[in-house]
């Protein structure tokens, strides 16, 4: 690097460093800061999908302790992957308004080997607990889910392709399969369909958020779909992918699921489609966030229907 580029880079570097140091030297670290590292809202959602996989299996049973351990294992493994994502992405997180206050990005927590060890230990504990109390198949899917998000998505694809989140969506699919394998290691068609639903759900969910925050991803140099193809085309892709998602979510009834599952999928799907249609017609931050929240409603309605159907079975 020549002298002029060093001079240009040094103020930004100094500012980022001083900001991190000032945050780090404040009196103590709040417990919410530590919990924020683990992306618990996403982790709870992933845990819910694992329970959906458990309840959708039509035959077999699982002990309450095994169900509890499975849920905790998925929660902790997902939390570990989320923390690794923040650890690795700290530099780019500082460039985005929605992420610059995260613990590693702000300097509230140090990017030290000690924290990396905690993250890895948490994953090892989660997988070991699933293997010991549940079974090896479920533990394997728990591990695959975490490694997909931490390794394939965060390290491999996020900064290389606008289709990064498509493959990253397998993390949720593996959680579903972990739940199903807890009941029966031979995963059946209903569990595979629900895993496919999660795979198809992830892109429109995150692309909606990316459209709402397009300028921030562009500033951070992250090639999310709307940054590469523009908000208008990305919005049309979101709507098209939602059509595919809703169509697949209606299929379980033809493979043995009850009509309650069909009703939940239809109600949530229609709501999601209405919001993505509005997004495709008029891409904006407002319509993008409406589609993002509608995706949560769609998935929640489907998972709730799976649980109710299992209770009435």
Pull the structure tokens for residue 157.
Answer: 């694809």
Q: What is the full DSSP assignment across the chain?
A: --HHHHHHHHHHHHHHHHHHHHHHTSSS--HHHHHHTT-HHHHHHHHHHHHHHHHH-SS----HHHHHHHHHHHHHHHHHHHHHHHHHTHHHHTTSTTTTTSHHHHTSS---HHHHHHHHHHHHHHHHHHHHHT-HHHHHHHHHHHHIIIIIIIIIITTT-TTHHHHHTHHHHHHHHHHHHHH-SS--HHHHHHHHHHHHHHHHHHHHHHHHTHHHHHHHT---HHHHH-HHHHHHHHHHHHHHHHHHHTGGGGGT--HHHHHHHHHHHHHHHHHHHHHHHS--HHHHHHHHHHHHHHHHHHHHHHHHHHHH-
Under the banding of pLDDT at 50, 70 and 90, the label for residue 28 is: low
Mean pLDDT computed over 92-111: 85
- What pLDDT does 29 receive? 63
Residue scoring higher pLDDT (15 or 250): 250
- What pLDDT does 3 receive? 40
- What pLDDT does 137 receive? 97
Rounded distance between C-alpha atoms, residue 243 and residue 239, angstroms:
6
Whether pLDDT at 7 is above 60: no
Residue scoring higher pLDDT (18 or 114): 114
Q: Note the pLDDT tens digit of each residue in 203-253.
A: 999 999 999 999 998 988 889 999 999 999 999 999 999 999 999 999 999
Mean pLDDT computed over 47-76: 94
* Lowest mean pLDDT segment, chosen from 6-10, 54-58, 81-85, 252-256: 6-10
Rounded distance between C-alpha atoms, residue 214 and residue 227, angstroms:
6
> Does the global pTM surpass 0.75?
yes
Average pLDDT over the chain, rounded to whole? 88
Nearest one of 232, 248, 235 to 277, comparing CA atoms? 235
**High-pLDDT (> 70) share of the chain, %:** 90
* Lowest mean pLDDT segment, chosen from 80-89, 90-99, 136-145: 90-99
Mean pLDDT computed over 144-163: 89
Q: Note the pLDDT tens digit of each residue in 167-212.
A: 888 888 999 999 999 999 999 999 999 999 999 999 999 999 999 9
- What pLDDT does 17 receive? 41
| Cα Dmax for the chain | 72
- What pLDDT does 106 receive? 85
Mean pLDDT computed over 275-281: 98
Contact 162, 223 (CB under 8 A): yes
- What pLDDT does 277 receive? 98
Q: What is the full DSSP assignment across 144-158?
A: HHHHIIIIIIIIIIT
């Amino acid at each position: 690097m020549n002298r002029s580029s060093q001079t240009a880079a040094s103020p930004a570097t100094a500012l980022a460093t001083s900001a991190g140091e000032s945050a780090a030297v404040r009196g103590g670290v709040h417990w919410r800061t530590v919990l924020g590292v683990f992306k618990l809202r996403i982790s709870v959602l992933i845990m819910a999908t694992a329970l959906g996989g458990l309840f959708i299996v039509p035959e077999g049973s699982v002990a309450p302790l095994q169900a509890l351990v499975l849920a905790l294992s998925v929660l902790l493994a997902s939390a570990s992957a989320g923390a690794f994502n923040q650890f690795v992405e700290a530099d780019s997180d500082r460039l985005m308004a929605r992420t610059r206050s995260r613990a590693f990005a702000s300097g509230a927590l140090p990017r030290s080997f000690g924290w990396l060890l905690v993250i890895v230990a948490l994953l090892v504990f989660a997988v070991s607990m699933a293997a010991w109390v549940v079974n090896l198949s479920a533990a394997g899917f728990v591990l695959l889910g975490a490694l997909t998000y931490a390794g394939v998505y965060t390290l491999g694809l996020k900064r290389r392709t606008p289709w990064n989140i498509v493959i990253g969506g397998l993390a949720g699919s593996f959680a579903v399969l972990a739940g199903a394998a807890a009941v029966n290691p031979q995963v059946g068609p209903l569990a595979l369909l629900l895993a496919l639903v999660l795979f198809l759900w992830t892109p429109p969910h995150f692309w909606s958020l990316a459209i709402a925050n397009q300028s921030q991803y562009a500033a951070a140099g992250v090639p999310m779909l709307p940054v590469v193809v523009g908000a208008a085309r990305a919005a049309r892709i979101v709507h098209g992918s939602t059509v595919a998602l809703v169509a697949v979510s209606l299929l379980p009834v033809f493979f043995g699921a009850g009509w309650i599952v069909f009703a939940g999928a239809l109600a949530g799907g229609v709501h999601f489609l209405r919001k993505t249609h509005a997004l495709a017609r008029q891409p904006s931050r407002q319509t993008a966030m409406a589609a993002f929240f509608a995706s949560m409603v769609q998935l929640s309605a489907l998972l709730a229907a799976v649980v109710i159907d299992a209770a009435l079975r």
